[in-house]
Structure 1
Amino acid sequence: MSRFVDRVVIHVSAGDGGNGCASVHREKFKPLGGPDGGNGGNGGDVTLVVDAGVHTLLDFHFRPNAKATNGKQGQGSNRSGANGEGLELKVPDGTVVLTEDGEVLADLVGHGTQYVAARGGRGGLGNAALASKARKAPGFALLGEPGDARDLVLELRSVADVGLIGFPSAGKSSLIAVLSAARPKIADYPFTTLVPNLGVVTAGESVFTVADVPGLIPGASQGKGLGLDFLRHIERCAVLVHVVDCATEEPDRDPVSDVDAVEAELAQYTPSLGDDLAERPRIVVLNKIDIPDAADLAEIVRPEMEARGWRVFEVSTASQKGLRELTFALGEVVEADRASKPAPERTRVVLRPTAVDDSGFTVEPDPEIDGGFIVRGERPERWVRQTNFDNDEAIGYLGDRLARLGVEEALAAKGAKPGSPVTIGRMQFDWEPSTPAGVAVMMSGRGTDTRLDQTDRANAADRKAAKQARRVHGDETARGTGDDGE
């Protein structure tokens, strides 16, 4: 038996970036031919894609975990690692993506609409990409960044123009069955409809969709009964239709009190998409007038409903009386709502350059450590994640990057002293300044490779000194020969 699921919590994990490779080209008679380590591949993204063929979130109910593949590590001979494969998750039209705190991240409407739920990590650079004039043979490579991992809430909110609202067994399912080709379950007991039903209705040249949503009872805005399972599916509707049972046999119910109870629940419900339900047009349908007592009751309550400014229609789904007038009235309201909305525009690419005075990081005192500081910023935190702290040269490279960014100057300006604990991301270390902004200290040769000292090949300085020595020796020999000739 199929199930309808319209709210799930999923855990998405993007792929991690591959590590860069620290390699040195080796060839016969060339013991140290230069760095040739390739870059690591990028991790795959996890993307939500609207698919018109998907109508429920049932797949995520049974498989809530989604993980994209990792990027491959770089290799020698300048071979970059392969990128991880992205993962596309198909969701139904009208899916809203929220955080666990209820913040709306994306409203996915329209076939093909995409949202990157988790972005893959960057691949680390190999030592070939890190080579420079000052660091000709780096003995390290950058690590790949971890991919995003987060918990998301997916809620399906029906994309319909008309929403049928009312108490259980008011005749909503019967109404949508005669107006469209939808075939919902119809029975003579409450809460027959447990899932939203959508039907397509044609009224002249107007074509619109009607949603038959689960029945409402007092307290639904606090989750009583089907509660929010009902209310979230009317957030997108252009017009709300009160379907009232004029033939109810319950002594404590009447059409006016039913409508007031539903309106009270709508007033207490706050849509997360931002629109106010009180501003939506209302239409009242007095149903089951094929029963004589119901027809008499409809005549009595009709003036009171019209006094509220609402259009009222007396219909019978059994005899189909009044349905044609209702259909064209709904089409008129839907077309007016469509005309009032601005025409959709193409998505524009918005460029937001960094402000001139934005350093890209902040330095704050650490509230938990006396004399400590916390450096926050996208680039410093990313550089720390990419650093292999088992490699002294990689740590030196990180220090150079932070110094060029101005972190050391900012720490000195905040009163940091040598040995002060500094936290960047998840790493904490003792600050040792190396720029004039702090206390000058002698550092070992950064950017050097100890393997260069092990080769027997003469470097440029040795060759220049040997050339000068040969020239001096030649001059002395020439002078000695001249003296012997005299």
Structure 2
Amino acid sequence: MAKFVDRVVVHATAGAGGNGCASVHREKFKPLGGPDGGNGGRGGSVVLVVDPGVHTLLDFHHRPHATARNGKQGQGGFKAGANADDLELAVPDGTVVLSPEGKILADLVGPGTRYVAAEGGRGGLGNAALASAARKAPGFALLGEPGSTCDLVLELRSIADVGLVGFPSAGKSSLVAALSAARPKIADYPFTTLVPQLGVVTAGEEVFTVADVPGLIPGASEGRGLGLDFLRHIERCSVLVHVVDCATFEPGRDPVADVQALEDELARYTPALGGLLADRPRLVALNKLDVPDARELADMVRAELVERFGWPVYEISTATRQGLRELTFAMAEQVREHRAAQPFVEPTRVVLRPTAVDDAGFTVEADPELPGGFIVRGGRPERWIRQTNFENDEAVGYLGDRLARLGVEEALAGAGATPGCPVTIGDVTFDWEPSTPAGVAVMLSGRGTDRRLDQTSRASASDRLAARIDRRRHRTDEELLTGAAEDEE
């Protein structure tokens, strides 16, 4: 038999974007072919999709890690990398997505409802897309962004119109089986039902669902029994029905005390989806009237229940089906009134929120860990850091130009930054050296290099060319004697 799982932790990892390609078109008789590197493909996202054919979170219990594919890398000849397909995870209707801290992120109700759990990374631009009038042949490309990762808690909260609450062995499963086509396990010992059972009931023109919530006992809201695990399944119920066992042989129990004990537990439970369980309409079903002693007890407590709680009371027997018709139509009437009172749900609208005019897109603040240091926070600066190949000097210079055009250097100077102070953007910390804004047009150098960066570790292309020409030049006898003397010294 399939295991019922209604709470899991999912570790979602989106795919990384593909790197852009730094390529130059090479063809015979075309020495200046120009850059032709393609862009990288987008990484796949992890998406939760409501599937009516899924009724449990069992798959995530066995496979909690979900990883989407990475985007393909760009190629030469203007060939863009392929985008990775999104990883769609089927979840039951009524799944609630929470953060590890318990904050509700999404309530997935309705077939086809989607929620992007982890966003795939963007693909990096190739050097063909980075070419401009000032930089006609970039010797670098942007890296793809890594995909986002997150831990999510998925909780299944059954979508039912009527919730059946009661002590163990009160006959809730028998009532579901008598009213619908559901066939839950029924036995004569407590806690026979270990998972919620749903049944579809038809009463006239009304069709509604009934949920059997197992294991409610005194102290359930504090973790006793099974009630704390399954109380979430009645959060969506519009009507609650107390199923009372009038034929119990346990000493010290009576129908009025049972109803009051369960009401105390429901009052202590706070639904995470909002609202209070105390506001839901109630019905009371005195069950097992086919037993002679139970009928006598029901006659004794009926008036007291009505006087104390003010709820309609129905006497039923799931064995002989006595009173089931009256109870079914009473539940249908309550469900109809609740549905009529709900506000009209408008279709989801696309909301555009433009960036404010005075929003620079980043902030500059003092670094609490590095004396005299600063931290730059913002979506674009941090994204540009992730896309930069710091082994390529020209790419680093391009990053500096982008930050200067965005106004980061001006903001650092206004915050009191001095040349050489440590500045942190994202995961990278560097010594800040101001540069001329947008100085690319006047400071161009060889491909893969930038004059604003110190090149002490290796010779430039012009230096290597001059050394090679000098080695091949014919030397006179005097020059050879002079060179030998210098070597001896």
Q: Same fold (TM over 0.5)?
A: yes
- The residue aligned with 2:366 is 365
Report the identity percentage: 75
What is the DSSP-based 3-state SS (H/G/I as helix, E as strand, rest coil) of the residue aligned with 1:403? helix
The gaps in structure 2 that reach 5 residues or longer are 450-459, 463-489
Deviation of 1:223 after TM superposition, in Å, equals: 2.1
Matched, 1:449 2:447: yes
Match of 1:412 in 2: 413
CA distance in 2, matches of 1:109, 1:443: 55
Residue 52 of structure 2 corresponds to 52
- CA distance, structure 2, for counterparts of residue 345 and residue 64 of structure 1: 35
**1:155 partner letter:** E
CA deviation string 1:209-248 (max 9, x = no partner): 0001212012211222113222010011010111111111
Letter in 1 for 2:230: F
Stretch of structure 1 that moved more, 217-226 or 174-183? 217-226
Q: Using a 3 Å threshold, how does the CA distance of structure 1 residues 435 and 310 change in structure 2: closer, same or farther?
A: farther
Letter of the aligned partner of 2:80 in structure 1?
Answer: S
Q: SS at 2:299's partner residue?
A: helix
CA distance in 1, matches of 2:158, 2:312: 24
Alignment of 1:17-166 (within 5 A): 17-166=17-166
Aligned counterparts of 2:444 and 2:209: Cα–Cα separation in 1: 69
- In structure 2, the residue matched to 1:385 is 386
Whole-Å separation in 1 of the counterparts to 2:90 and 2:448: 53
| Rounded Cα–Cα distance in structure 2 between residues aligned with 1:54 and 1:187 | 27
Distance in 2 (CA, whole Å) between partners of 1:56 and 1:403 is: 53
CA displacement at 1:9 relative to structure 2:
0.8
Runs of 4 or more above 6 Å deviation = 440-444
Match of residue 4 from structure 1: 4
CA contact (8 A) 1:168 1:190 kept: yes
Residue type matched to 1:416 in 2? A
1:6-405 equivalence runs, <5 A: 6-307=6-307, 308-405=309-406
Tell whether the 8 Å contact from 2:70 to 2:84 is kept in structure 1 after alignment. yes
Counterpart-to-counterpart distance in 2, 1:27 and 1:133: 22
Q: 1:134, 1:447 within 8 Å by CA — same for their partners in 2?
A: no
Tell me the alpha carbon deviations over residues 287-337 of structure 1, each in whole angstroms, 9 at most, x when there is no partner. 112222212222222223222221111111111111111000000000111
Distance 1:155 1:309 in 2: 34
Cα distance in 2 for residues equivalent to 1:216 and 1:321: 25
Q: CA RMSD in A?
A: 2.0
Q: Which residue does 1:472 correspond to in 2?
A: none
Secondary structure at the counterpart of residue 398 of structure 2: helix
Equivalents in 1 of 2:374, 2:96: separation in Å?
A: 40
Kindly state the Cα deviation for residue 273 of structure 1 after the two structures are TM-superposed.
Answer: 1.0
Q: Which amino acid aligns with 1:369?
A: L
Given that residues 366 and 374 in structure 2 are in contact (C-alpha distance below 8 angstroms), is that contact kept between their aligned partners in structure 1?
A: yes
Contact 1:214 1:229 in 2 (8 A): no
**Alignment check: 8 A CA contact 2:134 2:441 kept:** no
Tell me the distance in 2 between the aligned counterparts of 1:236 and 1:407: 50
Counterparts of 2:445 and 2:218, CA distance in 1: 73
Equivalent residue of 1:290, what SS? Answer: coil
Distance 1:304 1:143, change over 3 A: same
Secondary structure of 1:324 counterpart: helix
Q: Give the residue type in structure 1 aligned to 2:270.
A: T
Contact 1:158–1:233, Cα closer than 8 Å, also in 2: yes
Read off the aligned partner of 1:428 and give its amino acid letter: T
> Is the Cα contact below 8 Å between 2:238 and 2:280 reproduced in 1?
yes
Superposed displacement of residue 165, structure 1: 0.5
Mapped partners of 1:428, 1:59: distance in 2: 42
CA distance in 2: counterparts of 1:303 and 1:428, whole angstroms: 77
2-side partners of 1:430 and 1:303: how far apart? 83
Query: How far is 1:22 from its partner?
Result: 0.5
CA contact (8 A) 2:140 2:448 kept: no
Q: CA 1:213–1:442 in structure 2 vs 1: closer, same or farther (change >3 Å)? A: closer
What amino acid maps onto 2:110 in structure 1? G
CA offsets per residue over residues 112-167 of structure 1, 9 Å max, x none?
11111111100000000001111111110000001111111111111100000011
CA distance in 1, matches of 2:218, 2:101: 26
Equivalence for 1:483: none
SS at match of 1:258: helix
Residue 422 of structure 1: SS of its match in structure 2? Answer: strand
Distance in 1, Cα, partners of 2:40 & 2:92 = 35
> Which secondary structure does the structure 2 equivalent of 1:122 belong to?
coil
Would the alpha carbon gap of residues 340 and 40 (structure 1) be closer, same or farther in structure 2, given more than 3 Å must change?
same
Distance 1:446 1:429, change over 3 A: farther
Question: Cα offset for 1:280?
Answer: 0.8
SS at match of 2:217: coil
**Paired residue for 2:477?**
none
Please give the alpha-carbon distance, in whole angstroms, between the structure 1 residues aligned to 2:315 and 2:339: 26
Give the structure 2 partner of residue 467 of structure 1.
none
Q: Which amino acid is the alignment partner of residue 145 of structure 1? A: E
8 Å CA contact 1:74, 1:126 repeated in 2 = yes
In structure 2, how many angstroms separate the alpha carbons of the residues matched to 1:279 and 1:51? Answer: 31
**Residue 154 of structure 1 aligns to a residue in which SS?**
strand
Contact in 1 for aligned 2:240/2:283 (Cα 8 Å):
yes
Give 3-state SS (helix, strand or coil) of 1:342's partner.
Answer: coil
Aligned letter for 1:192?
A: T
**In the aligned structure 1, how far is the partner of 2:386 from the partner of 2:440?**
27
Q: Structure 1: 5+ residue runs without aligned partners?
A: 456-486
- Alpha carbons of 1:165 and 1:446: their partners in 2 closer, same or farther (altered >3 Å)? farther
C-alpha deviation, 1:447, in angstroms: 7.0
Q: Return closer, same or farther for 1:334/1:281 CA change in 2, 3 Å cut-off.
A: same
Please state how far the C-alpha of 1:443 moved relative to its aligned partner.
11
Distance 1:443 1:83, change over 3 A: closer
